[in-house]
């Protein structure tokens, strides 16, 4: 119930900037649950004024294997102690819920705290976990600059967002800054793309699509009504 109230407040209080990302075959690991789940779509929303980030994994798929559904339930409600699975281990530092969607599938909503747009280390972590790219963010003047590896994430230009390719010289400079901030943690990729968001936007929404045909070893998640609501939240 608390999750629904929180998400309702977020939905009603802020307008969104939507950025559409292309389909890909990269799986979502749901770290540290070790690939227990994957999903067709991933939506990452930054609510600066609330200090909250919500990641929604839409159309969930569960890894094949005996006991995996019990492991999933235990990862959220803490009932699977014999497998050393505690609440909150699935995702989110505020909480997580799995609920039915309008399409008859299931979605996961994971919620994290964030200390505003200047919490660059947390932003790096969350974008990396959602999209599996090397990520480096920094604030320049009144803009948030997001540098990342791999192909461009932007499929459709958004008038509020600037996106560009980095020159080789710029890429080397950003890589050096990444290593200076993250001593001992090498970047898993080369920074070749940049997104620039204006800081006067109260919320950013990025949606990422995956190709279901690449979900080998996974089946659509099925839950009984008796297993719902499946959620765990640690609200202040």
Rounded distance between C-alpha atoms, residue 222 and residue 106, angstroms: 8
- Tell me the average pLDDT of the chain: 76
- Give tens-digit pLDDT for 111-169: 989 888 778 888 888 888 777 778 888 889 889 898 988 777 655 556 778 888 999 99
DSSP state of 178: H
Lowest mean pLDDT among 31-45, 195-209, 213-227: 31-45
CA distance 101 to 107: 6
pLDDT at 169: 95
**Taking Cα atoms as reference points, which of 218, 220, 152 lies closest to residue 191?**
152
Q: 212 — phi, psi (to 5°)?
A: -60, -30
* Other CB atoms within 10 Å distance of the CB of residue 181: 14
Q: How far is CA 40 from CA 35, 90, 116, in A?
A: 14, 17, 28
């Amino acid at each position: 119930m608390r999750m629904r109230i929180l998400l309702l407040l977020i939905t009603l209080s802020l307008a969104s900037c939507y950025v559409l990302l292309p389909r890909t075959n990269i799986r979502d690991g749901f770290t540290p649950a070790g690939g227990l789940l994957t999903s067709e779509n991933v939506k990452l929303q930054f609510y600066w004024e609330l200090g909250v980030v919500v990641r929604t994994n839409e159309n969930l798929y569960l890894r094949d294997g005996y006991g995996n559904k019990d492991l999933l339930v235990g990862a959220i409600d803490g009932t699977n102690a014999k497998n050393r699975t505690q609440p909150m281990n699935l995702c989110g530092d505020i909480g997580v819920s799995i609920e039915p969607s309008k399409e008859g599938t299931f979605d996961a909503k994971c919620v994290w705290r964030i200390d505003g747009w200047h919490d660059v280390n947390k932003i790096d972590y969350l974008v990396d976990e959602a999209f599996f790219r090397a990520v480096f963010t920094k604030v320049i003047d009144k803009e948030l600059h997001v540098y990342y590896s791999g192909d461009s994430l932007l499929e459709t230009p958004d008038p509020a967002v600037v996106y560009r390719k980095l020159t080789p010289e710029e890429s080397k400079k950003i890589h050096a800054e990444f290593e200076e901030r993250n001593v001992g943690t090498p970047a898993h990729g080369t920074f070749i793309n940049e997104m620039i968001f204006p800081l006067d936007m109260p919320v950013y929404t990025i949606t990422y699509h995956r190709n279901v045909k690449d979900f080998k070893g996974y089946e659509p998640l099925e839950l009984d009504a008796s297993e719902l609501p499946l959620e765990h939240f640690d609200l202040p």
